Structure 1
Amino acid sequence: MDRNKFSFKSIPGWVYTLAIFAVLYATGLHTEVIGGVQRLLLATGLKNAEMPTAPKTSTPATLTSTSSPMAGAGFQMTDLEGKVVAFESLKGKVIFLNVWATWCPPCIAEMPNIQSLYEKVGSDKIAFVMLSVDQNGMDKVKKFIAKKGFTFPVYLPASQMPEEFNSPAIPSTYIISPQGKIVAQQNGMAEYDTPEVIDFLQKLASK
Protein backbone atom coordinates (compact mmCIF):
# COMPACT_ATOMS: atom_id res chain seq x y z
CA MET A 1 0.00 0.00 0.00
CA ASP A 2 1.28 3.44 -0.90
CA ARG A 3 1.43 5.33 2.37
CA ASN A 4 2.00 8.60 0.50
CA LYS A 5 -1.34 8.28 -1.28
CA PHE A 6 -3.51 11.35 -0.69
CA SER A 7 -6.55 10.97 1.53
CA PHE A 8 -9.17 13.55 2.51
CA LYS A 9 -9.20 11.94 5.92
CA SER A 10 -5.68 13.20 6.46
CA ILE A 11 -6.77 16.84 6.13
CA PRO A 12 -7.21 18.53 9.56
CA GLY A 13 -10.71 19.68 10.45
CA TRP A 14 -9.61 23.29 10.80
CA VAL A 15 -8.73 23.36 7.11
CA TYR A 16 -12.32 22.53 6.19
CA THR A 17 -13.60 25.17 8.59
CA LEU A 18 -11.24 27.75 7.14
CA ALA A 19 -12.28 26.83 3.61
CA ILE A 20 -15.99 27.19 4.47
CA PHE A 21 -15.44 30.63 6.01
CA ALA A 22 -13.34 31.66 3.01
CA VAL A 23 -16.18 30.74 0.65
CA LEU A 24 -18.73 32.56 2.82
CA TYR A 25 -16.63 35.72 2.91
CA ALA A 26 -15.87 35.52 -0.81
CA THR A 27 -19.57 35.27 -1.64
CA GLY A 28 -20.67 37.80 0.97
CA LEU A 29 -22.87 35.22 2.70
CA HIS A 30 -21.03 35.36 6.03
CA THR A 31 -23.16 38.28 7.21
CA GLU A 32 -26.37 36.36 6.52
CA VAL A 33 -25.09 33.18 8.16
CA ILE A 34 -23.88 34.92 11.31
CA GLY A 35 -27.08 36.97 11.40
CA GLY A 36 -29.12 33.78 11.19
CA VAL A 37 -27.29 32.27 14.15
CA GLN A 38 -27.82 35.43 16.17
CA ARG A 39 -31.51 35.42 15.21
CA LEU A 40 -31.78 32.05 16.91
CA LEU A 41 -30.31 33.63 20.04
CA LEU A 42 -32.96 36.35 19.96
CA ALA A 43 -35.65 33.69 19.67
CA THR A 44 -34.63 32.32 23.07
CA GLY A 45 -35.82 35.52 24.77
CA LEU A 46 -32.44 36.08 26.40
CA LYS A 47 -31.90 39.37 24.55
CA ASN A 48 -35.27 41.09 24.98
CA ALA A 49 -35.05 44.86 24.87
CA GLU A 50 -35.16 46.55 28.26
CA MET A 51 -37.77 49.27 28.60
CA PRO A 52 -38.30 51.66 31.51
CA THR A 53 -41.04 50.45 33.86
CA ALA A 54 -43.27 53.29 32.64
CA PRO A 55 -42.99 56.08 30.08
CA LYS A 56 -41.82 59.34 31.57
CA THR A 57 -44.64 61.82 31.92
CA SER A 58 -44.39 65.49 31.11
CA THR A 59 -45.98 68.46 32.77
CA PRO A 60 -48.27 70.70 30.73
CA ALA A 61 -45.54 73.34 30.70
CA THR A 62 -43.14 70.86 29.12
CA LEU A 63 -45.72 69.73 26.58
CA THR A 64 -46.33 73.26 25.35
CA SER A 65 -42.73 74.43 25.48
CA THR A 66 -41.02 75.08 22.14
CA SER A 67 -37.74 76.36 23.56
CA SER A 68 -36.30 72.93 24.29
CA PRO A 69 -34.80 71.35 21.13
CA MET A 70 -35.55 67.74 20.38
CA ALA A 71 -32.90 65.03 20.17
CA GLY A 72 -31.43 65.07 16.68
CA ALA A 73 -32.49 68.66 15.99
CA GLY A 74 -31.14 69.82 12.65
CA PHE A 75 -30.48 66.30 11.38
CA GLN A 76 -31.41 65.57 7.77
CA MET A 77 -32.19 62.13 6.33
CA THR A 78 -32.81 60.76 2.84
CA ASP A 79 -35.48 58.14 2.23
CA LEU A 80 -35.09 55.37 -0.34
CA GLU A 81 -36.81 57.52 -2.96
CA GLY A 82 -34.15 60.20 -2.55
CA LYS A 83 -36.39 62.64 -0.68
CA VAL A 84 -34.70 64.65 2.08
CA VAL A 85 -36.59 64.50 5.37
CA ALA A 86 -35.93 66.68 8.42
CA PHE A 87 -35.76 64.59 11.59
CA GLU A 88 -37.52 67.43 13.41
CA SER A 89 -40.57 66.91 11.21
CA LEU A 90 -41.30 63.83 13.33
CA LYS A 91 -41.59 65.79 16.57
CA GLY A 92 -44.93 65.17 18.22
CA LYS A 93 -44.71 61.45 17.50
CA VAL A 94 -43.04 58.60 19.34
CA ILE A 95 -39.93 57.77 17.30
CA PHE A 96 -38.45 54.28 17.16
CA LEU A 97 -34.97 54.94 15.75
CA ASN A 98 -32.74 52.01 14.83
CA VAL A 99 -29.19 52.58 13.54
CA TRP A 100 -28.03 49.68 11.38
CA ALA A 101 -25.99 48.57 8.34
CA THR A 102 -26.23 45.82 5.75
CA TRP A 103 -22.78 44.50 6.73
CA CYS A 104 -23.77 44.11 10.41
CA PRO A 105 -24.89 40.55 11.37
CA PRO A 106 -26.59 41.61 14.65
CA CYS A 107 -28.52 44.26 12.70
CA ILE A 108 -29.75 41.66 10.24
CA ALA A 109 -30.62 39.32 13.11
CA GLU A 110 -33.00 41.76 14.80
CA MET A 111 -34.63 43.30 11.73
CA PRO A 112 -37.38 40.66 11.30
CA ASN A 113 -38.62 41.26 14.86
CA ILE A 114 -38.55 45.03 14.27
CA GLN A 115 -40.64 44.50 11.12
CA SER A 116 -43.11 42.49 13.21
CA LEU A 117 -43.20 45.25 15.84
CA TYR A 118 -43.79 47.83 13.10
CA GLU A 119 -46.77 45.89 11.80
CA LYS A 120 -48.30 45.48 15.27
CA VAL A 121 -48.04 49.08 16.47
CA GLY A 122 -48.93 50.73 13.19
CA SER A 123 -50.06 54.20 14.17
CA ASP A 124 -49.79 57.74 12.87
CA LYS A 125 -48.53 58.62 16.36
CA ILE A 126 -45.52 56.26 16.16
CA ALA A 127 -42.79 56.79 13.56
CA PHE A 128 -40.17 54.19 12.68
CA VAL A 129 -36.78 55.39 11.44
CA MET A 130 -34.52 52.57 10.26
CA LEU A 131 -31.34 54.57 9.69
CA SER A 132 -28.71 52.82 7.57
CA VAL A 133 -25.11 53.98 8.02
CA ASP A 134 -23.84 52.15 4.91
CA GLN A 135 -21.29 54.41 3.24
CA ASN A 136 -22.44 55.45 -0.25
CA GLY A 137 -24.88 52.58 -0.09
CA MET A 138 -28.29 53.77 -1.35
CA ASP A 139 -28.52 51.12 -4.07
CA LYS A 140 -27.16 48.41 -1.78
CA VAL A 141 -29.65 49.30 0.94
CA LYS A 142 -32.59 49.40 -1.50
CA LYS A 143 -31.69 45.96 -2.87
CA PHE A 144 -31.29 44.55 0.65
CA ILE A 145 -34.67 45.88 1.82
CA ALA A 146 -36.42 44.68 -1.34
CA LYS A 147 -34.88 41.23 -1.03
CA LYS A 148 -35.99 40.89 2.59
CA GLY A 149 -39.46 42.31 1.96
CA PHE A 150 -39.28 44.79 4.83
CA THR A 151 -41.85 47.59 4.75
CA PHE A 152 -40.73 49.84 7.61
CA PRO A 153 -39.40 53.30 6.63
CA VAL A 154 -35.68 53.27 5.81
CA TYR A 155 -33.40 56.29 5.64
CA LEU A 156 -29.75 57.22 5.17
CA PRO A 157 -28.03 60.23 6.77
CA ALA A 158 -28.07 63.37 4.64
CA SER A 159 -26.12 65.40 7.19
CA GLN A 160 -23.70 64.76 10.02
CA MET A 161 -24.93 62.23 12.57
CA PRO A 162 -26.19 63.96 15.73
CA GLU A 163 -24.06 63.49 18.82
CA GLU A 164 -27.05 61.99 20.66
CA PHE A 165 -27.14 59.08 18.21
CA ASN A 166 -23.43 58.29 18.20
CA SER A 167 -22.98 54.89 19.81
CA PRO A 168 -19.92 52.65 20.27
CA ALA A 169 -21.89 49.80 18.72
CA ILE A 170 -24.46 49.04 16.09
CA PRO A 171 -27.22 48.20 16.03
CA SER A 172 -28.33 50.89 18.44
CA THR A 173 -31.95 51.75 19.10
CA TYR A 174 -33.46 54.90 20.59
CA ILE A 175 -37.04 55.59 21.58
CA ILE A 176 -37.86 59.28 21.55
CA SER A 177 -40.91 60.80 23.19
CA PRO A 178 -43.35 63.13 21.39
CA GLN A 179 -41.58 65.97 23.22
CA GLY A 180 -38.30 65.00 21.53
CA LYS A 181 -36.52 63.39 24.48
CA ILE A 182 -34.69 60.06 24.42
CA VAL A 183 -36.55 57.90 26.93
CA ALA A 184 -34.99 54.51 26.16
CA GLN A 185 -31.78 53.34 24.50
CA GLN A 186 -30.51 49.88 23.59
CA ASN A 187 -26.93 49.27 22.41
CA GLY A 188 -26.54 46.01 20.56
CA MET A 189 -29.14 43.65 19.15
CA ALA A 190 -32.35 42.88 20.99
CA GLU A 191 -35.83 41.40 20.60
CA TYR A 192 -38.35 44.25 20.27
CA ASP A 193 -41.47 42.34 19.31
CA THR A 194 -42.51 41.84 22.93
CA PRO A 195 -45.57 42.85 24.95
CA GLU A 196 -43.36 45.12 27.07
CA VAL A 197 -42.07 47.16 24.12
CA ILE A 198 -45.49 47.32 22.44
CA ASP A 199 -47.09 48.51 25.68
CA PHE A 200 -44.34 51.08 26.26
CA LEU A 201 -44.68 52.58 22.77
CA GLN A 202 -48.47 52.71 22.88
CA LYS A 203 -48.60 54.31 26.33
CA LEU A 204 -45.97 56.85 25.30
CA ALA A 205 -47.98 57.70 22.19
CA SER A 206 -51.12 58.24 24.24
CA LYS A 207 -49.55 60.87 26.50
Structure 2
Amino acid sequence: MKEKKKKSLKKHLIEYGIIFAIFGGLYVTGLHTEVLGFLQRGILATGLMNPDLEEKEDLAMNDASPTADFNMNLINSKGEKVAMKDLKGKVIFMNVWATWCPPCVAEMPGINKLYNDVDKEKVAFIMLSVDQDFQKAIDFNEKKGYDFEIYQLNGGMPVMYQTQSIPSTFVINADGKLVMTHLGMGDYNTNKFKKFLKEQY
Protein backbone atom coordinates (compact mmCIF):
# COMPACT_ATOMS: atom_id res chain seq x y z
CA MET A 1 0.00 0.00 0.00
CA LYS A 2 2.85 2.37 0.92
CA GLU A 3 4.56 1.58 -2.37
CA LYS A 4 1.36 2.43 -4.28
CA LYS A 5 1.07 5.81 -2.52
CA LYS A 6 4.72 6.58 -3.27
CA LYS A 7 4.20 5.81 -6.97
CA SER A 8 1.04 7.93 -7.04
CA LEU A 9 2.82 10.84 -5.34
CA LYS A 10 5.77 10.53 -7.72
CA LYS A 11 3.39 10.51 -10.71
CA HIS A 12 1.62 13.68 -9.46
CA LEU A 13 4.92 15.44 -8.82
CA ILE A 14 6.06 14.63 -12.37
CA GLU A 15 2.73 15.89 -13.81
CA TYR A 16 2.95 19.14 -11.80
CA GLY A 17 6.60 19.48 -12.79
CA ILE A 18 5.70 19.19 -16.47
CA ILE A 19 2.87 21.73 -16.13
CA PHE A 20 5.16 24.12 -14.24
CA ALA A 21 7.89 23.69 -16.88
CA ILE A 22 5.43 24.42 -19.70
CA PHE A 23 4.03 27.55 -18.06
CA GLY A 24 7.51 28.62 -16.93
CA GLY A 25 8.78 28.20 -20.48
CA LEU A 26 5.86 30.20 -21.88
CA TYR A 27 6.46 32.97 -19.34
CA VAL A 28 10.20 33.17 -19.97
CA THR A 29 9.72 33.28 -23.75
CA GLY A 30 6.91 35.83 -23.47
CA LEU A 31 4.46 33.50 -25.18
CA HIS A 32 2.17 33.27 -22.14
CA THR A 33 0.37 36.45 -23.27
CA GLU A 34 -0.27 34.94 -26.71
CA VAL A 35 -1.48 31.61 -25.27
CA LEU A 36 -3.74 33.24 -22.67
CA GLY A 37 -5.02 35.65 -25.33
CA PHE A 38 -5.86 32.71 -27.58
CA LEU A 39 -7.75 30.99 -24.75
CA GLN A 40 -9.64 34.20 -23.94
CA ARG A 41 -10.82 34.41 -27.57
CA GLY A 42 -13.00 31.42 -26.69
CA ILE A 43 -14.62 33.49 -23.92
CA LEU A 44 -15.11 36.39 -26.36
CA ALA A 45 -16.95 34.07 -28.74
CA THR A 46 -19.69 33.61 -26.12
CA GLY A 47 -20.60 37.32 -26.30
CA LEU A 48 -20.74 37.53 -22.49
CA MET A 49 -18.04 40.22 -22.36
CA ASN A 50 -19.58 42.51 -24.99
CA PRO A 51 -20.77 46.04 -24.15
CA ASP A 52 -24.47 46.61 -23.36
CA LEU A 53 -25.34 48.54 -26.50
CA GLU A 54 -29.06 48.97 -25.69
CA GLU A 55 -28.17 51.07 -22.66
CA LYS A 56 -25.65 53.12 -24.69
CA GLU A 57 -28.20 53.70 -27.49
CA ASP A 58 -30.73 55.00 -24.96
CA LEU A 59 -28.20 57.47 -23.55
CA ALA A 60 -27.20 58.64 -27.04
CA MET A 61 -30.84 59.09 -28.13
CA ASN A 62 -31.69 61.06 -25.00
CA ASP A 63 -28.57 63.23 -25.42
CA ALA A 64 -27.51 62.16 -21.92
CA SER A 65 -23.97 61.32 -23.01
CA PRO A 66 -21.16 63.58 -21.76
CA THR A 67 -19.16 65.75 -24.14
CA ALA A 68 -15.89 64.05 -25.04
CA ASP A 69 -12.55 65.58 -24.09
CA PHE A 70 -10.50 66.09 -27.26
CA ASN A 71 -7.51 67.52 -25.41
CA MET A 72 -5.21 64.60 -26.15
CA ASN A 73 -2.06 64.51 -28.25
CA LEU A 74 -0.66 61.34 -29.80
CA ILE A 75 2.31 60.01 -31.75
CA ASN A 76 1.79 57.24 -34.29
CA SER A 77 4.11 54.35 -35.21
CA LYS A 78 5.80 56.51 -37.87
CA GLY A 79 6.66 59.19 -35.30
CA GLU A 80 4.02 61.63 -36.61
CA LYS A 81 2.18 63.85 -34.13
CA VAL A 82 -1.61 63.64 -34.19
CA ALA A 83 -4.04 65.81 -32.23
CA MET A 84 -7.29 64.11 -31.24
CA LYS A 85 -9.16 67.38 -31.91
CA ASP A 86 -8.30 66.94 -35.62
CA LEU A 87 -10.62 63.92 -35.64
CA LYS A 88 -13.67 65.94 -34.56
CA GLY A 89 -16.67 65.28 -36.77
CA LYS A 90 -15.82 61.59 -37.16
CA VAL A 91 -16.93 58.71 -35.00
CA ILE A 92 -13.91 57.72 -32.89
CA PHE A 93 -13.27 54.16 -31.75
CA MET A 94 -10.54 54.39 -29.10
CA ASN A 95 -9.04 51.26 -27.57
CA VAL A 96 -6.48 51.40 -24.73
CA TRP A 97 -4.26 48.30 -24.83
CA ALA A 98 -0.82 46.82 -24.18
CA THR A 99 1.22 43.96 -25.66
CA TRP A 100 1.54 42.27 -22.23
CA CYS A 101 -2.25 42.18 -21.70
CA PRO A 102 -3.86 38.82 -22.73
CA PRO A 103 -7.43 40.23 -23.04
CA CYS A 104 -6.07 42.98 -25.32
CA VAL A 105 -4.37 40.37 -27.50
CA ALA A 106 -7.60 38.34 -27.51
CA GLU A 107 -9.82 41.12 -28.87
CA MET A 108 -7.42 42.53 -31.47
CA PRO A 109 -8.23 40.19 -34.39
CA GLY A 110 -11.89 41.23 -34.09
CA ILE A 111 -10.96 44.93 -33.90
CA ASN A 112 -8.83 44.54 -37.03
CA LYS A 113 -11.77 42.94 -38.87
CA LEU A 114 -14.02 45.77 -37.71
CA TYR A 115 -11.44 48.32 -38.87
CA ASN A 116 -11.37 46.76 -42.34
CA ASP A 117 -15.17 46.77 -42.55
CA VAL A 118 -16.01 50.39 -41.64
CA ASP A 119 -16.07 53.59 -43.67
CA LYS A 120 -12.72 55.27 -42.84
CA GLU A 121 -14.16 58.63 -43.99
CA LYS A 122 -16.63 58.44 -41.11
CA VAL A 123 -14.87 56.36 -38.43
CA ALA A 124 -11.39 56.95 -36.97
CA PHE A 125 -9.53 54.41 -34.85
CA ILE A 126 -7.20 55.33 -32.00
CA MET A 127 -5.43 52.16 -30.90
CA LEU A 128 -3.62 53.63 -27.90
CA SER A 129 -0.74 51.54 -26.54
CA VAL A 130 0.22 52.00 -22.90
CA ASP A 131 3.40 49.91 -23.26
CA GLN A 132 6.37 51.66 -21.63
CA ASP A 133 8.43 50.79 -24.70
CA PHE A 134 6.36 51.89 -27.71
CA GLN A 135 8.70 49.98 -30.03
CA LYS A 136 7.34 46.74 -28.52
CA ALA A 137 3.84 47.77 -29.60
CA ILE A 138 5.08 48.69 -33.08
CA ASP A 139 6.85 45.33 -33.45
CA PHE A 140 3.79 43.46 -32.15
CA ASN A 141 1.48 45.23 -34.63
CA GLU A 142 3.80 44.54 -37.55
CA LYS A 143 4.26 40.88 -36.55
CA LYS A 144 0.50 40.38 -36.36
CA GLY A 145 -0.10 42.20 -39.65
CA TYR A 146 -2.91 44.37 -38.28
CA ASP A 147 -4.03 47.14 -40.61
CA PHE A 148 -4.88 49.86 -38.08
CA GLU A 149 -2.39 52.50 -36.96
CA ILE A 150 -1.22 52.44 -33.35
CA TYR A 151 -0.48 55.40 -31.08
CA GLN A 152 1.17 56.39 -27.85
CA LEU A 153 0.40 59.42 -25.73
CA ASN A 154 2.32 62.64 -26.35
CA GLY A 155 1.40 64.31 -23.07
CA GLY A 156 -1.27 63.58 -20.49
CA MET A 157 -4.37 61.41 -20.74
CA PRO A 158 -7.64 63.31 -20.14
CA VAL A 159 -9.32 62.24 -16.88
CA MET A 160 -12.34 61.03 -18.87
CA TYR A 161 -10.30 58.18 -20.37
CA GLN A 162 -8.12 57.31 -17.37
CA THR A 163 -8.72 53.76 -16.20
CA GLN A 164 -6.99 50.99 -14.30
CA SER A 165 -8.68 48.46 -16.58
CA ILE A 166 -7.17 47.45 -19.89
CA PRO A 167 -8.33 46.90 -22.45
CA SER A 168 -10.77 49.80 -22.29
CA THR A 169 -12.76 50.99 -25.27
CA PHE A 170 -14.44 54.34 -25.85
CA VAL A 171 -16.73 55.46 -28.69
CA ILE A 172 -17.22 59.15 -29.42
CA ASN A 173 -19.95 60.06 -31.89
CA ALA A 174 -19.72 62.57 -34.74
CA ASP A 175 -21.28 65.23 -32.48
CA GLY A 176 -18.43 64.87 -29.99
CA LYS A 177 -20.35 62.93 -27.32
CA LEU A 178 -18.83 60.02 -25.43
CA VAL A 179 -21.50 57.42 -26.18
CA MET A 180 -19.75 54.25 -24.99
CA THR A 181 -17.21 53.24 -22.36
CA HIS A 182 -16.47 49.54 -22.07
CA LEU A 183 -13.95 48.30 -19.52
CA GLY A 184 -12.49 44.89 -20.32
CA MET A 185 -12.40 42.90 -23.52
CA GLY A 186 -15.20 42.68 -26.05
CA ASP A 187 -16.00 41.36 -29.49
CA TYR A 188 -16.57 44.43 -31.65
CA ASN A 189 -16.74 42.58 -34.96
CA THR A 190 -20.47 41.94 -34.68
CA ASN A 191 -23.40 43.17 -36.78
CA LYS A 192 -24.90 44.69 -33.64
CA PHE A 193 -21.80 46.77 -32.89
CA LYS A 194 -21.38 47.82 -36.54
CA LYS A 195 -25.00 49.03 -36.53
CA PHE A 196 -24.29 50.94 -33.31
CA LEU A 197 -21.25 52.63 -34.91
CA LYS A 198 -23.28 53.63 -37.99
CA GLU A 199 -25.88 55.23 -35.75
CA GLN A 200 -23.14 57.50 -34.38
CA TYR A 201 -22.25 59.14 -37.75
What TM-score comes out, normalization by structure 1 length? 0.85
**Aligned structure 1 segments of 4 or more residues deviating by more than 6 angstroms:** none
Amino acid of the structure 2 residue aligned with 1:15: G
Q: Whole-Å Cα distance in 2 between the matches of residues 199 and 101 of structure 1?
A: 27
Q: Could you give the per-residue CA deviations for residues 1-43 of structure 1, whole angstroms, max 9, x where no partner exists?
A: xx99xxx747342222211111111100000000000011112
Which residue is 1:17 aligned to? 19
After superposition, the Cα gap between the structure-2 partners of 1:81 and 1:195, relative to the gap in structure 1 and judged at 3 Å, is same
Q: Whole-Å Cα distance in 2 between the matches of residues 77 and 199 of structure 1?
A: 28
After superposition, the Cα gap between the structure-2 partners of 1:74 and 1:35, relative to the gap in structure 1 and judged at 3 Å, is same
Residue 138 of structure 1 pairs with residue 134 of structure 2: yes
After superposition, the Cα gap between the structure-2 partners of 1:123 and 1:10, relative to the gap in structure 1 and judged at 3 Å, is closer
Percent sequence identity is 44
Residue 172 of structure 1 pairs with residue 168 of structure 2: yes
Q: Whole-Å Cα distance in 2 between the matches of residues 54 and 125 of structure 1?
A: 22
5+ residue gaps, structure 2, are none
1:150 to 146, 150, 163: 146
1:84 to 81, 86, 90: 81
User: Could you tell me how far 1:57 is from its partner in structure 2?
Assistant: 4.7
Taking only aligned residues, the RMSD between alpha carbons, in angstroms, comes to 2.4
Q: Check conservation: 1:48, 1:194, Cα contact below 8 A.
A: no
5+ residue gaps, structure 1, are 60-68
Residue 181 of structure 1 pairs with residue 183 of structure 2: no
Count of aligned positions? 192
Amino acid of the structure 1 residue aligned with 2:184: G
After superposition, the Cα gap between the structure-2 partners of 1:14 and 1:203, relative to the gap in structure 1 and judged at 3 Å, is same
Q: Check conservation: 1:70, 1:91, Cα contact below 8 A.
A: no
Instruction: Judging by fraction of residues, say which structure has more helix.
Output: 2
User: Could you tell me how far 1:123 is from its partner in structure 2?
Assistant: 2.8
What TM-score comes out, normalization by structure 2 length? 0.87
Residue 110 of structure 1 pairs with residue 127 of structure 2: no
Q: Check conservation: 1:96, 1:128, Cα contact below 8 A.
A: yes
